Amino acid sequence: MRTILVVMAFVVTALACEARADIAIDALRATVRVDGGSQSGTAFLVAVPAEDDGSGTTLLVTAAHVFENMKAEACTVSFRAAEQERFARLETRVAIREAGRPLWIRHPDADVAILPVEPPHGADLTAFAPSQIADGSAFARGEVAVGQPVWVACFPAKTEANAAGWPILRRGTIASHPLAPIDRVKTFFVDYAHFGGDSGSAVVVDRGGAPLVAGVVVAMQRQTDHVTSPFEDKKVHTPLGLAIVAPADRILQVVDGWRRSLAATPVPASE
């Protein structure tokens, strides 16, 4: 009997490890680097299906300030392409402004933005579905809660895992309580080694063996000290190892606003 229990425990542990590995891979494959020259950030993809013909739109989701800090009309987005069981870098230029007008759509209150994009042919990726973005009910049910382990795929200080442009996978823990009702929470903390360049990363948790986006990394929490001496007067910023995260329901809100604006756009009369 004991042998059976040990075998069952081993099988359950193996399946759990496999599920966690799948979630981590999904997070990596959905994540891309957004490079504006002097400014670099992280973004991830969400596939929004159309309501009419079954086709849809791929959205680039990131922190709004990632786009706002880029001054050019376009940025470089680094995808990956699978070639003979290996991966190669696949970069594409994506317009973020047109005649100075932003093409991204920002949440009215949160540092979250979306931009419709068309991934290049041959890109190897997995985009999150809207059902994999935590809404208010997911927070209310405790599917996102304090102490929960998270995955963060990101590009800290412009660092990439390899020449193909894969992101770095970090682990952390949700550090804020309570998180419900989430509409009263502007941001929450995630405890992980956060660096510049992580802004725009998806914070991903395990929901029954499948990925659930809990939020978007938007800033770094740090302590600022004013140091004064006879020959020096300066500020010293010390990172606290805490990322400031916008709740994922803000993504759904900005997507809903974008879809309503599309529905309200007049259709040109045919000639």
Q: Are 34 and 42 in contact (CB under 8 A)?
A: yes
Strands 113-117 and 56-62, by their bridges, are antiparallel
Question: Are 113 and 105 in contact, with CB atoms under 8 Å apart?
Answer: yes
Write the pLDDT tens digit of every residue in 74-95: 999 999 998 766 899 999 999 9
Radius of gyration of the chain measured on its C-alpha atoms: 20
Residue 212 contacts residue 205 (beta carbons within 8 Å):
yes
The CATH architecture assigned to 2-264 reads: Beta Barrel (2.40)
150-188 as b/e, with b when 16 or more CB fall inside 10 Å? bbbbbbbeeeeeeebbbbbbbebebbbeebbebeebebb
What global pTM score does this model have?
0.86
147-203 confidence digits (pLDDT tens): 999 999 999 999 999 999 999 999 999 999 999 999 999 999 999 998 989 999 999
Helices (H), 144-222: none
The domain spans of the chain are 2-264
